[in-house]
Amino acid sequence: MHTKLVNQNLPSTCPTDLIPTNETIPANQPPPKLYAEVVVNIPLNKIFHYSIPPHLRDSLTVGMRVKIPFGNKIITGFCVGFTDIPFTGKTKDIISVIDTFPLTDALMLKITKWLSSHYCCGWGEAISAVIPPVVRSRTKEKWDAFVKCCGRLAELDDKTLLQIKTRAPKQAKALEILLTISGRVGISRCDTEDNRNNSPLSSSSKGGIEGEISAKELINMSGCKMPVLRQLEKKGFITIANRLVDAVNASCNDPLQPHLTFTPEQQNAYDVINKKLAQPKPGVILIHGVTGSGKTEIYLQTIAKVIEQGRKVIFLVPEISLTSQTIQRIKARFNNVAVLHSHLLGTFHHSQWSDIKEGKVDIVIGARSAIFAPLKNVGLIIMDEEHENTYKQENSPRYNARDIAIFRAGCENAMVILGTATPSLESYYNATIGNYEKVVLSKRIGGRQLPPVDIVDMTEEAHKRRGYNIISQRLEYYMNQALAKNEQVILFLNRRGFAPYIHCKRCGFVLKCSRCDIPMTFHKKLGTTLCHYCHAEQHPPESCPDCMINRINYRGFGTEKIEDEIASRFPNYKIVRMDSDSMRVRDTHEKVLTAFGRGEIQILLGTQMIAKGLDFPNVTLVGVISADTMLNLPDFRSSERTFQLILQVAGRTGRGPKGGRVVVQSFNPRHYSITYAAAHDYGGFARKELEYRKQLNYPPFGKLARIVFRSRQEDRAKEKSLSVADKLKEMVKANENHLEILGPSPAPVTRINNMFRWHLLLKAQDYESIHDAVQGVADILKPSKSVQAVVDVDPYMML
Angle value at C-alpha 584, between 581 and 587, nearest 5 degrees: 135
The Cα–Cα gap between 502 and 518 comes to 11
Q: What is the DSSP letter of 321?
A: G
Can you spell out the DSSP letters for 43-100?
SS-EEEEEE--GGGTTT--TT-EEEEEETTEEEEEEEEEEESS--SS--PBP-EE--S
Contacts of 269 (CB under 8 A, 6+ apart): 287, 289, 298, 439, 441
Q: Which pLDDT does position 251 carry in this prediction?
A: 46
Task: Check if the beta carbon of residue 482 is closer than 8 Å to that of residue 488.
Answer: yes
Under 8 Å between Cβ of 36 and 114: no
Evaluate whether 786 touches 713 at the Cβ level (below 8 Å): yes
Contact 93, 110 (CB under 8 A): no
**DSSP category for residue 209:** -
Backbone angles phi and psi of 67, in degrees to 5 = -90, 130
Q: Which residues of 327-339 are buried (b: 16+ CB within 10 A; e: fewer)?
A: bebbbebbeebbb
- Distance, in Å, from the CA atom of 286 to the CA atom of 280, rounded to the nearest integer, reads 19
Residues near 478 by Cβ (< 8 Å), separated by ≥ 6? Answer: 621, 623, 661, 663
Contact 98, 144 (CB under 8 A): no
Residue 708 CA from chain centroid, whole number: 21
As a whole number of Å, the end-to-end CA separation of the chain is 40
Q: How far apart are CA 267 and CA 259, in angstroms?
A: 13
How remote is the C-alpha of 208 from its chain's centroid?
Answer: 36
Sequence-separated (6 or more) residues with CB below 8 Å from residue 628: 666, 667, 668
Other beta carbons within 10 angstroms of residue 728's beta carbon come to: 22
Mean pLDDT by 10 residues, the chain (799 residues): 41 42 47 83 89 91 94 93 81 92 94 95 93 76 71 75 82 81 45 35 33 77 84 85 54 74 94 94 95 93 95 92 79 91 79 90 93 95 94 92 96 96 96 95 90 93 84 94 94 89 84 88 86 87 83 85 92 90 75 87 89 84 91 89 92 88 94 95 96 94 95 93 92 78 92 93 92 90 88 91
Q: What are the φ and ψ backbone dihedral angles of 144, each rounded to 5 degrees? A: -135, 150
Full-model pTM: 0.82
Task: Label the pairing between strands 619-624 and 661-666.
Answer: parallel
What was the pLDDT predicted at 200? 34
* Spatial distance between the Cα atoms of 332 and 326, rounded to a whole number of angstroms: 10
Q: State residue 471's pLDDT score.
A: 92
Rounded-to-10 torsion of CA 544, 548, 549, 554: 10
Q: Is the distance from CB of 215 to CB of 147 less than 8 angstroms?
A: yes
Distance of alpha carbon 707 from its chain centroid, rounded?
Answer: 22
Sign of the four-CA dihedral 316, 318, 322, 325: negative
Three-class SS state of 755: strand
* Cα 661–chain centre separation: 29
Peptide bond into 669 cis (omega under 30): no
Beta bridge partners of 313: 363, 380
- Residue 21 dihedral angles phi and psi, to the nearest 5°: -75, 175
- pLDDT computed for residue 29 by the predictor: 56
Q: What is the largest CA-CA distance in the chain?
A: 85
Question: What's the confidence (pLDDT) of residue 25?
Answer: 44
CA torsion through residues 41, 45, 51, 55, sign: positive
Question: Which of left, alpha, beta for 89 (phi over 0: left; psi -120 to 50: alpha)?
Answer: left
Per DSSP, 368 falls in state: G
The helix/strand/coil state of 12 is coil
